Amino acid sequence: MTDDQLLRYSRHILLDDIGIEGQERILAAHAVIIGAGGLGSPAALYLGAAGVGRITVVDDDSVDLTNLQRQIAHTSERVGHSKAESIRAAVHAINPGVQVTALRQRADAALLDALLPAASIVLDCSDNYRTRHLVNAACVRHRIPLVAAAALRFDGQLMVIDPRDAGSPCYACVFPPEASFEEEQCATMGVFAPLVGTMGSLQAGEALKLIAGCGQPATGRLVMFDSRRLDWSAMKTQKITDCSVCSNHL
């Protein structure tokens, strides 16, 4: 590390669980963030501030005025611009040493298969069930750790999936892709602004723990947050032996 990096990241280096070696792993890491909205904004900002060397942001949407209530990486001046490009600008304003690639396209299986072999970690910050399952399946195929979160109304969820661990359940073990349900989105149901900041920040924290090799990631748990009552709960999740996604990757 350079003298400037030693100073910039000194508060991480002072932590015994991270130190210089952990910070060097962060600097060498490549994080792929799917979704540049309410969750992706704080996740990208904290990963960039922490010094993750490469960040790829994938989102095909543009900044809308209604986003500004909660998507803190975007600004009024960037309404109408690419969300992925907006996040790139926001991260560079904090830490110009981070290489940020903005992809203005929807995440599909082909794109994920192209990106993931070079990734250290994936953060699913999307807002729909189909994309979550695509991302989960790709992470299982490529054995890349995944930090997935969701937020709606006042409620948040967080999962950490680590396909490198034979005992780690995947997203499909908990939410079967064949299950039928009514898709709900904040565009119609609403979302409490600080909730997405809380959940996106937690995603960044879990990602940094996995990258640096510190702490105990929330693998094997579904963490739930009720921001209306400031109530946290968690349930253990189990790997399904006949899971349609991960049972062939034991």
Q: Which residues are catalytic?
A: 186
How far CA 215 is from CA of 26, 111, 158, in Å, comes to: 14, 31, 17
CA 226 – CA 58 distance, rounded (Å): 28
Residue 153 token pair: 């109304």
Residue type, 40: G
CA 94 – CA 233 distance, rounded (Å): 33
Give strand ranges (E) for the chain.
30-34, 54-58, 99-103, 121-124, 146-152, 155-161, 221-226, 231-236
